[in-house]
Amino acid sequence: MKPLLYISGPYSAETYQGRQQNILNAKRRYIETLKSGEWWAICPHTMTAEMEIHVPEMSHEEWIQVDITMLAQCDAIWADYPRNKGSAGTRLEVAWALLAGMPIHLGSRIDSAPNMLRNNRRKDLIDPVYKDLTAEIQKIFAMVADWNLPDPLHYKGSILLQEVKS
């Protein structure tokens, strides 16, 4: 079975055209992932596009819960980051993945599945995010607690969970 990759990036934008461009950017990475032949992928942008119109009673926090629930089922994350540091949702997803010990890919092209999963602690992948988030880790845990998001320690392949068990 192929590993499952979560496609992360900004969804919201100030304009409708900006939001459509964000969806298109994620869709392009989703297509590239599937064409690689090495991954299956989850792309929340394509799965929930314009649902804020069809289900307006769902809050932004509830949509984030949906996203993190999907992320927790994945083996790795490909984030449109740091180009989009301004996206709070992307920052939360990357932070959640980091705290869960999930392999994180930040490049413009997806790495091969074996290389990415084997080298998930590569400094060039983790350090740029970790440096930005060190001062915010407690805030991120608080966000997870406030929104009733799944605890990163319970990610299915969590290195943190493995360390707790041993």
| pLDDT of the residue at 17 | 93
CB-based contact 54:74 (threshold 8 Å)? no
What's the number of domains the chain is made of?
1
| pLDDT of the residue at 4 | 92
57-64: long-range contacts, CB 8 A cutoff, minimum separation 24: 61/147, 64/89, 64/92, 64/147, 64/149
| pLDDT of the residue at 129 | 52
| pLDDT of the residue at 98 | 78
Three-class secondary structure of residue 150 per DSSP:
coil
Three-class secondary structure of residue 133 per DSSP:
helix
Task: For the sheet with 40-42, list strands across it.
Answer: 40-42, 4-8, 76-79, 104-105
Output the tens digit of pLDDT for each of the chain's 166 residues.
889 999 998 888 889 999 899 999 999 999 999 999 999 999 999 888 877 788 889 887 777 888 888 898 898 999 876 555 557 788 788 888 877 778 888 777 787 777 777 655 445 444 555 555 555 566 666 666 665 566 666 666 554 444 433 3
Query: b/e per residue, 116-139, with b = 16+ CB within 10 A?
Result: bbeebeeeebbeebeeebeeeeee
| pLDDT of the residue at 115 | 74
CATH code where residue 123 lies: 3.40.50.10400
Q: Is the pTM of this model over 0.85?
A: no
**Domain coverage including residue 65:** 4-165
| pLDDT of the residue at 125 | 46
